[in-house]
Amino acid sequence: MLNDRKNLRIRKTQQYNNIYQNGRKLTSQCVIFFVLKNNLTINRYGIVASKKVGNAVVRNKAKRRIKSIIAEIDPRLKKGYDIVLVCRPLIGKVSYDQLKKDFSAAVRKIGIC
């Protein structure tokens, strides 16, 4: 899934702003989801971790965890969505298993699973 990373990432500020303004929002314990239909045959992802999450080590660990969960869950998700994941400060304090449960519950609740 993550082999062709360039096509699977949301890269431009304009794309992020479009998703923030027009997408559906769901807040979970560790992550805020923004989801917007993209009319493609793949899901594209953007991960945002601000300094509120922690220092660079904590932010990068959070992003690595989310990428790992995405790689595992993406084959089961409906295709054709742009998904922006905004990390919340609690993400640095929860275990990987708890983050995975939180992520799975949010995906089901937002209706892309």
Q: If you average pLDDT over every residue of the chain, what do you get?
A: 91
pTM value is 0.88
Q: Provide the pLDDT for residue 5.
A: 59
Decide: 30 and 94 in contact? Cβ < 8 Å: yes
Domain boundaries, the chain: 2-110
| Residues 61, 46: Cα–Cα separation, whole Å | 15
pLDDT tens profile 1-13: 444 556 678 999 9
| Residues 69, 94: Cα–Cα separation, whole Å | 14
| Residues 60, 63: Cα–Cα separation, whole Å | 5
Q: Provide the pLDDT for residue 70.
A: 93
Look up the CATH number of domain 2-110. 3.30.230.10
Q: Looking at the chain, list the stretches that DSSP marks H as alpha helix, in order from N- to C-terminal side.
A: 5-8, 13-22, 56-73, 96-110
% of residues, the chain, pLDDT over 70: 94
